[in-house]
């Protein structure tokens, strides 16, 4: 029996999950499980994370309820304006993956705020992105310039801040202390303007060391991978990750940072804002190429912006940040599965990005 549920409730959950996974089309390739869905489902619900129940989310219904129709009366910007804060000398792929994924899912405008070194490279990947070369790393400036550069960074971001529906902080940001200091200031400004923030990659390194940047901010979403989660648990809860108590620990972590939303990435994705834990377990791909988390972060930004629009219209009863995470996780996994079908071992992050549109179209067709 599924932990925490009566046999009847567990059977209903199982039937529902069966239906959802068929819609999302993602389980069929999983080794050893492909011919035995019942086994697949029950095992997953037992072993995904113990220490309290986590229910498979109804991702299909969520996607259908928050994805806007393509309506000729809408103007540019209404389907979402997102900005990625990331990209430095070392990493140019990560911010590109996040920003282009947002566009490929249907956002109208996608910006990248990065270092000067990274900007030309990112621009050359795509003419679709609006790239601002405003950040600086310590190696490229003198100590006596830091004050004026820091002020200039915030001045440039301030020009745009109120227009953004969501920021993605961290993909390919690096860990330069001066640069992270400037990004802390950007995060404080975003908070003052009530702009949602998806924090990923090196943004999570920053938040682990300075949790007050997001503490108690309900529009903050943290998307840790296994390393980033470990660091957060150590810093915030002062202990080690304990998967025996996985759900409880995740709830405690979200509460410990004042009710932010956490999407813990892994074999299943677990999502909470401190109230209950939802899971997205549909099968994606066995390829673990770098960059899939960056796609996810850009996708969360889009879906949470759409979920907030639906919430304004009074159509939702659930926290939009949770809905955005569930929708993004399901779409990324489905896209990864589609890409893997075609490319097998040579599947790359850019192949998955090319499947984002189809992945969403199969669930929310433009003309239904
Ligand atoms: N194509 C691209 O451009 C891509 C770029 N990417 C970008 O890479 C960045 C790091 O993300 P990741 O996922 O490698 O971090 P993660 O798994 O925590 O670390 C693995 C190990 O490495 C270490 N470590 C990491 N950074 C370090 C640093 N600056 N300096 C020193 N150590 C560092 C880390 O050590 P620890 O954190 O435990 O100290 C752990 O042991 C991030 O900006 C991401 O967006 C990815 O999105 C993929 C595609
Ligand atoms: N073992 C797994 N099986 C299936 N899906 C997984 C597995 N591990 C991660 N994923 C999925 O891949 C996506 C990216 O997670 P991952 O842990 O690779 O992030 P990341 O390390 O931050 O990636 P990036 O390389 O972009 O930084 C998430 O949606 C996650 O659910
Ligand atoms: Mg990552």
Residue range 148-173: mean pLDDT, rounded: 97
Answer yes or no: is 343 a known binding residue: no
Answer yes or no: is 142 a known binding residue: no
Answer yes or no: is 269 a known binding residue: yes
Q: Please work out whether the CB of residue 234 comes within 6 Å of at least one atom of ligand 1.
A: no
Torsion angle, alpha carbons of 347, 352, 358, 360, to 10: 140
Answer yes or no: is 258 a known binding residue: no
Mutational pocket test of ligand 2: of 33, 91, 263, 266, the residue with most ligand atoms within 8 Å of the beta carbon: 266
Q: Which residue has the tokens 């975003």?
A: 190
Q: Which two three-digit tokens encode residue 116?
A: 């000067």
Q: Please work out whether the CB of residue 290 comes within 6 Å of at least one atom of ligand 2.
A: yes
Q: Please work out whether the CB of residue 174 comes within 6 Å of at least one atom of ligand 1.
A: yes
Instruction: For the chain, report the end-to-end CA distance as a whole number of angstroms.
Output: 38
Q: Please work out whether the CB of residue 165 comes within 6 Å of at least one atom of ligand 2.
A: no
From ligand 2's centre to the CA of 226, what distance in Å? 9
User: Does CATH number 3.40.50.620 belong to domain 54-361?
Assistant: no
Rounded Cα distance between 349 and 200, Å, is 17
Q: Which two three-digit tokens encode residue 137?
A: 């790393």
Answer yes or no: is 82 a known binding residue: no
Which pLDDT band, with edges at 50, 70 and 90, does 116 fall under?
very high
* Residue nearest ligand 2's atom 16 by CA: 293
Q: Please work out whether the CB of residue 266 comes within 6 Å of at least one atom of ligand 2.
A: yes
From ligand 3's centre to the CA of 169, what distance in Å? 11
Atom of ligand 1 nearest to the CA of 96: 3
Residue range 342-360: mean pLDDT, rounded: 98
From ligand 2's centre to the CA of 71, what distance in Å? 34
Rounded Cα distance between 85 and 112, Å, is 6
Average pLDDT, the chain: 89
Write the pLDDT tens digit of every residue in 217-264.
999 999 999 999 999 999 999 999 999 999 999 999 999 999 999 999
Output DSSP code: residue 345: G
Q: Please work out whether the CB of residue 94 comes within 6 Å of at least one atom of ligand 1.
A: yes
From ligand 1's centre to the CA of 367, what distance in Å? 41
Largest alpha-carbon pair distance within the chain? 68
* Residue nearest ligand 2's atom 3 by CA: 267
Query: Which pLDDT does position 318 carry in this prediction?
Result: 87
Write the pLDDT tens digit of every residue in 90-111.
999 999 999 999 999 999 999 9
Rounded Cα distance between 327 and 360, Å, is 10
Answer yes or no: is 17 a known binding residue: no
Query: Which pLDDT does position 51 carry in this prediction?
Result: 62
Rounded Cα distance between 252 and 234, Å, is 12
Show Cβ contacts of residue 98 under 8 Å, excluding neighbours closer than 6 positions: 84, 86, 168, 171, 200, 294, 295, 297, 298, 301
Q: What percentage of the chain has pLDDT greater than the value 70?
A: 86
Task: Check if the beta carbon of residue 252 is closer than 8 Å to that of residue 270.
Answer: no
* Residue nearest ligand 1's atom 35 by CA: 227
Write the pLDDT tens digit of every residue in 259-276.
999 999 999 999 999 999
Query: Which pLDDT does position 313 carry in this prediction?
Result: 72
Q: What is the domain partition of the chain in residue ranges?
A: 54-361
């Amino acid at each position: 029996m599924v932990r925490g549920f009566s046999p009847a409730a567990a059977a209903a959950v199982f039937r529902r999950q069966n239906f959802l996974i068929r819609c999302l089309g993602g389980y069929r390739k999983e080794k050893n499980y492909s011919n035995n869905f019942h086994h697949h489902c029950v095992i997953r619900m037992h072993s995904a994370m113990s220490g309290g129940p986590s229910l498979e989310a109804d991702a299909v219904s969520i996607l259908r309820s928050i994805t806007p129709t393509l309506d000729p009366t809408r103007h540019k910007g209404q389907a979402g304006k997102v900005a990625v804060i990331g990209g430095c000398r070392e990493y140019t792929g990560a911010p590109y993956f996040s920003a282009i994924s947002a566009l490929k899912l249907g956002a109208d405008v996608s910006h990248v705020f990065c270092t000067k070194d990274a900007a030309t490279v990112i621009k050359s990947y795509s003419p679709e992105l609006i790239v601002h070369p405003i950040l600086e790393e310590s190696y490229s400036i003198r100590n006596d310039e830091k004050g004026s550069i820091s002020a200039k960074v915030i001045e440039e971001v301030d020009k745009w801040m109120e227009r953004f529906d969501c920021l993605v902080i961290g993909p390919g940001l690096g860990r330069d202390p001066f640069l992270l200091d400037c990004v802390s200031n950007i995060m404080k400004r975003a908070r003052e303007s009530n702009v949602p923030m998806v924090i990923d990659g090196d943004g999570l390194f920053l938040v682990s060391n300075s949790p007050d940047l997001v503490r108690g901010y309900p529009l903050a979403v943290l998307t840790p991978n296994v390393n980033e989660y470990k660091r957060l648990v150590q810093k915030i809860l002062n202990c080690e990750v304990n998967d025996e108590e996985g759900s409880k620990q995740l709830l405690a972590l979200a509460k410990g940072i004042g009710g932010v939303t956490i999407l813990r990435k892994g074999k299943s994705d677990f999502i909470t804002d401190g109230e209950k834990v939802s899971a997205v377990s549909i099968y994606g791909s066995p390829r673990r190429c770098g960059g899939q988390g960056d796609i996810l972060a850009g996708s969360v930004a889009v879906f949470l912006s759409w979920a907030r629009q639906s919430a304004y219209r009074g159509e939702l009863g659930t926290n939009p940040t949770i809905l955005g995470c569930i929708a993004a996780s399901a779409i990324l996994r489905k896209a990864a599965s589609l890409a893997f079908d075609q490319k097998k071992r040579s599947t790359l992050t850019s192949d998955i990005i090319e499947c984002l549109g189809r992945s969403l179209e199969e669930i929310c067709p433009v003309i239904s």
